[in-house]
């Protein structure tokens, strides 16, 4: 389904349940390449990025099977060295996890053009720094080669992807490794839990992560709920002036909630659920993205429509400073803005329907939220990009009373 058609202007009401987290499940899937045995993951979202990851894993001989809705069994008993399909790798940012996983497992990693959202350049220097710490050397023909050994990684900046790769290498290295300045996102901590269940010893302190590597076996785990998806539906409720409850883990949200509370939003945080009650005008907002526990960069674009239908707001992007290409799509709906990377001001805007193409995953869902708030029929093309990260987006929105279809 390539086009989402939204007849907007209706407040959304109801309850949805957050799926398993995209950003948490992808590291777990690639971690199975380190193991010898069967892993079972519960709460796996049926999203495009999971499908592509499973195709890549199958190239390495890891066999996956959906054994119940949302329950994925991966048998990594016969994992072998392989070269995955280049078009799969180039459509998925998480394919960078192959760098650490294949170097750790085979002593060799072929660098490839990695994909994902093209909102800015995505360097891999921190991933390579981690490889060097674990004995890997970059060859002239674009491979990391070496003999895996315990490493001391001193990251100069926080990177989720490079931390994941460092954890992969440390978990298979015989001996003690240390990762200084690791990312501590909930999805990184869920990988730490999986590696522990699979046999590695990982201690997390304020200084970093101390890892004792082991031969890893399979493990069973439930994927944590998706805080980005949950936040998106709460924003849908507020932006349309309705009332939306999301069933999710509420412990991972702090900076996002703070931003909304400061605008005067009525958020009711309960046991395992949050309700966003819209309908009253909110004050000028302000968000500044940062590594966890800061405001998540992935919730920046979906928050902008809320700013636009209220008193406006300032957006400052410290993780991906050029993540603003989607604003030109939102301007088609009447969203007014000014500024330059990495900071833009969003002005109070009178919205109208529009026909746009999703610029990237989170920018695409921001266009859907804007369309939901704009009275009349809008079309968002290129919805495949949105389905990379949102399972059943249109059916969940319909369950909240939205008039949304796909063709």
Residues at the site binding ligand UD1, with contacts judged by CB under 6 A: 23, 93, 122-127, 157-162, 183, 185, 187, 291, 297-298, 319-320
- Residues 31 and 50: their CA atoms lie apart, in Å, by 13
Q: Which residues contact 13 (CB under 8 A, 6 or more apart)?
A: 237, 242, 243, 244, 400, 401
Nearer to ligand UD1, 11 or 364 (CB): 364
Sign of CA dihedral 117, 233, 289, 287: positive
Nearer to ligand UD1, 228 or 346 (CB): 228
Q: Which residues contact 318 (CB under 8 A, 6 or more apart)?
A: 288, 289, 290, 294, 342
Helices (H) and strands (E) in the chain, counts: 14, 23
> What DSSP letter does each residue of 356-381 carry, written as one string?
EE--SHHHHHHHHHHHHHSSEEEEEE
Residue 185 gets the label, from left (phi > 0), alpha (psi -120 to 50) or beta, of: beta
- Residues 372 and 244: their CA atoms lie apart, in Å, by 14
Interhelix angle for 227-239 vs 22-31, to 10°? 160
CA 108 to chain centre: 27
Nearer to ligand UD1, 10 or 300 (CB): 300
3-state percent helix, strand, coil for the chain, nearest multiple of 5: 35, 25, 40
Q: How far is the CB of 72 from ligand UD1 (least distance, A)?
A: 20
Nearer to ligand UD1, 70 or 294 (CB): 294
Residue 119 DSSP label = S
- Scan for tokens 């490079």, then name that residue: 162
Active-site annotation holds for 120: no
Q: How far is the CB of 151 from ligand UD1 (least distance, A)?
A: 16
Which of these is catalytic: 50, 92, 117, 235? 117
- Residues 200 and 172: their CA atoms lie apart, in Å, by 8
Nearer to ligand UD1, 243 or 300 (CB): 300
Q: How far is CA 179 from CA 101, 134, 196, 202, in A?
A: 16, 11, 16, 10
Q: How far is the CB of 24 from ligand UD1 (least distance, A)?
A: 9
Q: How far is the CB of 34 from ligand UD1 (least distance, A)?
A: 18
Nearer to ligand UD1, 207 or 341 (CB): 341
Give the number of other Cβ atoms within 10 Å of residue 173's Cβ: 22
Q: Which residues contact 383 (CB under 8 A, 6 or more apart)?
A: 1, 2, 3, 4, 358, 364, 406
Q: How far is the CB of 349 from ligand UD1 (least distance, A)?
A: 26
Q: How far is the CB of 130 from ligand UD1 (least distance, A)?
A: 9
CB-closest chain residue to ligand UD1: 161
Nearer to ligand UD1, 23 or 259 (CB): 23
Q: How far is the CB of 232 from ligand UD1 (least distance, A)?
A: 13
Catalytic site residues?
Answer: 117
């Amino acid at each position: 389904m390539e086009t989402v058609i939204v007849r907007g202007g209706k407040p959304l009401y109801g309850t949805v349940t957050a799926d398993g987290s995209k950003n948490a499940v992808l590291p777990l899937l690639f971690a199975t390449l380190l193991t010898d045995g069967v892993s079972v993951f519960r709460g796996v979202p049926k999203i495009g990025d999971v499908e592509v990851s499973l195709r890549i894993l199958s190239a390495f001989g890891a066999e996956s099977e959906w054994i119940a809705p949302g329950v994925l069994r991966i048998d990594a008993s016969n994992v072998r060295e392989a070269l995955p399909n280049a078009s799969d790798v180039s459509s998925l940012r998480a394919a960078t996890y192959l760098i650490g996983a294949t170097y750790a497992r085979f002593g060799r990693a072929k660098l490839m053009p990695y994909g994902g959202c093209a909102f800015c350049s995505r360097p891999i220097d921190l991933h390579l720094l981690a490889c060097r710490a674990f004995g890997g050397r970059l060859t002239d023909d674009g491979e990391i080669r070496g003999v895996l050994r315990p490493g001391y990684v001193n990251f100069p900046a926080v990177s989720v992807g490079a931390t994941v790769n460092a954890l992969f290498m440390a978990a298979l290295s015989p001996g003690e490794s240390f990762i200084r300045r690791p990312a501590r996102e909930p999805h990184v901590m869920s990988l730490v839990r999986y590696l522990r269940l699979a046999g590695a010893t990982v201690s997390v302190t304020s200084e970093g992560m101390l890892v004792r590597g082991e031969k890893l076996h399979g493990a069973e785990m439930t994927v944590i709920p998706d805080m980005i998806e949950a936040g998106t539906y709460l924003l849908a409720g507020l932006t349309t002036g309705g009332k939306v409850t999301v069933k999710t883990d509420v412990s991972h949200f702090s900076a996002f909630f703070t931003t909304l509370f400061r605008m005067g939003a009525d958020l009711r945080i309960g046991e395992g659920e949050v309700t966003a009650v819209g309908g009253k005008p909110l004050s000028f907002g302000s968000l500044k993205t940062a590594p966890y526990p800061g405001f998540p960069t992935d919730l920046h674009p979906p928050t902008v429509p809320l700013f636009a239908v209220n008193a406006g707001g300032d957006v400052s992007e410290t993780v991906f400073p050029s993540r603003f290409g989607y604003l030109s799509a939102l301007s088609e709906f009447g969203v007014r803005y000014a500024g330059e990377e990495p900071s833009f001001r969003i002005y109070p805007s009178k919205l109208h329907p529009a026909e746009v193409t999703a610029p990237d995953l989170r920018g695409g869902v921001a266009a859907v939220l804007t369309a939901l708030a704009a009275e009349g029929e809008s079309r968002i093309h290129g919805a495949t990009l949105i389905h990379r990260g949102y399972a059943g987006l249109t059916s969940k929105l319909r369950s909240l009373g939205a008039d949304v279809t796909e063709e």
